[in-house]
Structure 1
Amino acid sequence: MKTLLIFTFFLISGPVGCFDVIGYMGRIVKIYCKHQQYGQNEKYFCKKGTDECINVQRENTWVHKERVSLYNSNQDFTVIYKNLSLQDSGSYQCGETGRWGNDVELKVKRGPICSCPSAVTGFLGETLTINCSSPEEFKSNAKSFHKLNGQVVTKVINRTWSQINRFSMSEDSEVVSVKIRDVKEEDKGDYYCAAWNSEKLVSYFSYYTSIQLQVTVTSPATTTPSGEYSSKHSVCPSFIVIITVCVCVALLLISVSALIFFTLRHKKTQDSAFMNRQCGANHANMDMDLVYQNLKPNKNQSVSIYESLDPITTEPESEY
């Protein structure tokens, strides 16, 4: 493979252009390569200095290899590079074997937007509005809205096509707004907002925002005054899951703590009531003992009284 690539590069004739392509981590770039000497030979896309290559020979045919897909037409060939990582940055070449080649410098950036798709829910029969904030690098570039179909992304609408069927689009330098009327089940899927950058020999779409659209029949709890939903404040699903789990754990801990507190309090109340009953019983017993002792006859006192009542026999005898 390496020998073939070296042989291929040495057989390239004509000028070789160099172009910068900007992509974002977790997103997609779609590159169009063309040349004045475009012919029928095999087309290739290779990372320079490595053996990472993918080739396509037949026209109007897609070839897929891991995260890279090629399509060969009779005018240019298309390269789709999906799920970009920072390690994908580097020098590439797209071209035609033995005829021409264009050098491409791929620059993968983190971007100001989270790498996970924004979750958006659409409701059957209603109107949905999706807003995408534009990166600083592409504020002056033309924007468009695309949908992922299998391994290929296809354009749905752009500013030139201001309205197509149920889709309409408007944009300014900072925000792209796409409105979907009469939402249907078939609308669910993965969508992207993209910026277009056109050069003479190399042009590309940079897909900077990913939207995961879900469709349901349940009516929304809250909507905007116009009955629309905006994805501008959408949150990554992983973040939502983390928040939900944290809230559930906090509620569980509060419930357990409250249960333990009330259990201990109830036990303490029962113990206090029991002690009060014991003390009351003891006081009652003591009072009964005192009453009994007061009512018990004194034998010595009775004898004394009896003795005081005996007749004094010596006194009459003395008179006699």
Structure 2
Amino acid sequence: MRAGIIIIIIFLTLCLISGQVLCFKVIGCSGGSVMFKCMYKSDEQHNSTPLNQREFYDQLKGKYFYISKSVFIKCVISTETQRRWVYNERFALYDDENSRFFTVFIRNLNREDAGKYICGNNQKWSHDVELEVNNNSSSCGTSVIRSAYIGQTITFSCEYEHGFKTHTKVLYRVNGDPVLVLNSSQSSQSSEEKFILSDSQKDHFTVTIRDISAAERGVYLCGVERDGADKPPSEKITHITFIKEIELKVLRQITSVQVEAYISKSVFIKCKFPEEFKENKKFIQKDSSKEISVDEQNQWIPHGKVHMFDDTSAGVLKVFISDLTAADEATYRCGMNTADDHLFMKIRLKINQGDNFRESSESVAVIGESVKLSCNSPEKQQLIKHICKENKKKICQSISSSEKQRFEFSDSTAGVYTASISNVSPRDAGVYWCGAETRHEHLTSVSLTNKHQLTLTMPPVIGREGDSVEIKCPYDEKHTEEACLRSGKCLSKEVKYLCKGKCFTKDAQNIIRSDEDHVIKPRISVKDDTELNLFTVNMTELRAEDAGKYWCAVRDVFNLPLELMIIMKDAVIHEASVGGSASISCKHIRNQTQKLFCRGDQPNICIRDGARVSSNKRINGRFSLTEETSAGVFTVKISDLREEDAGKYWCAEESSGSFIFTEVQLHVTREMISDTKRETSQETEKPEITSSGTETVQETEKPDSFCQRL
């Protein structure tokens, strides 16, 4: 311990010996790096070193760099090898005996590195080095990552303090060994040079790298040459202070593809990477802007209107860009980071200003049935058609194509195709986009052109006056009590609702809740079957005023409409002969309603296929309609009767989607008879409504002849 103290005292004394440069000061930047040279000494200088110090060094081999702290000396790095860098964590040493010096390089400096060091040779000489580490600049120790693709020209800046404006600026490259790349006192700006350094002599200098290749990847250090003082440097340069570190990633292009999309529409792009890199971190980059990294895998990550999904199972980066504008036309790079290389796909996105596609359309589908959506194809020759559904974030994430069975696709005319969804379920409600695919080896794009708002409704429920009906409301599994408890997001059992009018709106009338007892509402009872995910409401003693649009709901996330159609108890039977005419009187209960007369086995089929005559279309060929509002009837006349006119018709009145029907049976005979009609009561003529909603009409006894009817 006492020997260590003696050595330090001797070193401090040697720094004061006149005419001998035995010690020097090195100033570094916290978080930055520093490089300095230890010059060889003559044999005479070595012999002047005290004997006890020489004995300590004589035990060492080659060149060394030691830290001298308090009462101990600790080896940092040493070497016996010439003209090759050796490393020890953050420290590196290079011995070039032809140049009469060796170089010490320290990276990522911190305050604890400050202090006294010794560099020298164990046989002849040594230097005392004082390392100072400060952090008096906002640019001190800055570290950035820049990416460039092969062939690109990139420029970056290196900030420095104003006091260094006259100092020589340097750029070193650290790709294994540190190598000088640029020196501001020697560099020119030839148009053929790969690297160009331009010094503003104000607060920064810039470095430009042209026509980047894979060889340019690595870490670059910006620095200033200086001596041991903070004043402009003297002719003797002792060290270099590096104030900024730039890691340059060079991306290798896999493919280059042009993708066409349309203004105000959307585009879906899939970038497929090699199998061995499928779990590597992905990114998207627009023009020369900063990379947008996908920090989370296997989930959609938003960045403005650009959404990204890193699908690690398939090695695919999905990119969805919505609400396209002219400003979105650019060159994009869909890339991936690796340890020693970076891959990317170049995408030239072209935004077409005009198109012949509809802005949007709306369709209503009945649950359990099918619906057709009409789509435009931007290119006639494309074989693979697509349709996708937006999620809550308006990302069209679920792409289904003609290669799958979920949808059926068929071409109708040139550039137009139809996507059919069969067996529609509650989950199918929402916004859909359709478009056609462009496929390349590593990249697939779907330009989405048509927007469809698909609203779902339950099949209509048909009930007869005085009878009862069941209204069945299916709901998603996530609204079951078990799912509720499993998720931990609800405090009690999910309550289901049946409302007349859309639930949770001011005009809605709550009919019943799943947690209410039927005693409160005697005509209505409820059953919630959580195994079938089915909420069933039974309504008895039906009345005309029960007709209307009802909504099934669970909170405000599940609102599904259905139509309750009421058939009045009394039916109408009308008989007439071929060639004659029939005048059928239809009673109506409510004023200010739309009157209709249509044909069909069921009221809903009658409405779907269209009315023969109505309040809006009073004459239609041989059919005509007149209203007698004061008498509460409207009359439909059918002239020039034919045998095929016989069948079931319906008198209907409609108000805001609420339908009330009266059944009409028209018999047409070949005999010449007078125009007669007969009303029958529900008890004798009422059709039976089966569990499936269809009706069977009891046979009505027909008279054998006109005379018998008299």
**TM-score past 0.5 threshold:** yes
Is residue 61 of structure 2 the alignment partner of residue 26 of structure 1?
Answer: no
Alignment of 1:265-280 (within 5 A): 269-270=502-503, 272-275=508-511
CA offset at residue 202 of structure 1? 6.5
The one of 59, 62, 74 equivalent to 2:85 is: 62
Alignment of 1:175-254 (within 5 A): 175-198=204-227, 203-217=238-252, 221-223=286-288
Aligned to 2:138: 112
CA deviations over 1:181-220 (Å, ceiling 9, x no partner): 1111221111111111256777111111111111225696
Is residue 156 of structure 2 the alignment partner of residue 130 of structure 1?
Answer: yes
Change (3 A) 1:185 1:107: same
Code of the residue aligned with 1:216 in structure 2: it is L
Is residue 63 of structure 2 the alignment partner of residue 43 of structure 1?
Answer: yes
TM-score (norm 1): 0.64
CA offset at residue 90 of structure 1? 1.2
Task: Give the secondary-structure state (helix, strand or coil) at the position aligned to 2:73.
Answer: coil
State how far apart, in whole Å, the 2-side matches of 1:2 and 1:156 are: 47
Alpha-carbon contact 1:19-1:202 (below 8 Å) kept: no
Code of the residue aligned with 2:74 in structure 1: it is E
State how far apart, in whole Å, the 1-side matches of 2:3 and 2:205 are: 47
Task: Give the secondary-structure state (helix, strand or coil) at the position aligned to 1:87.
Answer: helix
Code of the residue aligned with 2:219 in structure 1: it is D
Code of the residue aligned with 1:197 in structure 2: it is R
Unaligned runs of 5+ in 2: 47-60, 228-233, 257-284, 306-390, 395-478, 480-493, 513-522, 525-538, 547-710
Code of the residue aligned with 1:25 in structure 2: it is S
Change (3 A) 1:35 1:284: closer
State how far apart, in whole Å, the 2-side matches of 1:94 and 1:165 are: 38
Code of the residue aligned with 1:87 in structure 2: it is E
The structure that has the greater radius of gyration is 1
Larger relative helix fraction:
1
Aligned to 1:95: 120
Unaligned runs of 5+ in 1: 224-228, 286-320
Task: Give the secondary-structure state (helix, strand or coil) at the position aligned to 1:153.
Answer: strand
Change (3 A) 1:48 1:221: same
Change (3 A) 1:6 1:241: farther
State how far apart, in whole Å, the 2-side matches of 1:42 and 1:70 are: 11
State how far apart, in whole Å, the 2-side matches of 1:250 and 1:162 are: 43
Change (3 A) 1:133 1:103: same
CA offset at residue 180 of structure 1? 1.1
Code of the residue aligned with 1:52 in structure 2: it is K
CA deviations over 1:212-242 (Å, ceiling 9, x no partner): 111225696345xxxxx8xxxx89x99x979
Moved more, 267-276 or 155-164: 267-276
Task: Give the secondary-structure state (helix, strand or coil) at the position aligned to 1:52.
Answer: strand
Change (3 A) 1:165 1:32: same
Change (3 A) 1:47 1:207: same
Task: Give the secondary-structure state (helix, strand or coil) at the position aligned to 1:146.
Answer: strand
Code of the residue aligned with 1:27 in structure 2: it is G
Aligned to 1:145: 171
Larger relative strand fraction:
2
The one of 154, 165, 169 equivalent to 2:179 is: 154
CA offset at residue 123 of structure 1? 2.3
CA offset at residue 45 of structure 1? 1.6
State how far apart, in whole Å, the 2-side matches of 1:131 and 1:31 are: 24
CA offset at residue 18 of structure 1? 3.6
CA deviations over 1:140-178 (Å, ceiling 9, x no partner): 31001111121x211111221225841111112222111
Task: Answer 1 or 2: higher relative contact order, Cα 8 Å, separation at least 6.
Answer: 1
Task: Give the secondary-structure state (helix, strand or coil) at the position aligned to 1:112.
Answer: coil
State how far apart, in whole Å, the 2-side matches of 1:106 and 1:119 are: 28
Alpha-carbon contact 2:86-2:92 (below 8 Å) kept: yes
Task: Give the secondary-structure state (helix, strand or coil) at the position aligned to 1:179.
Answer: strand
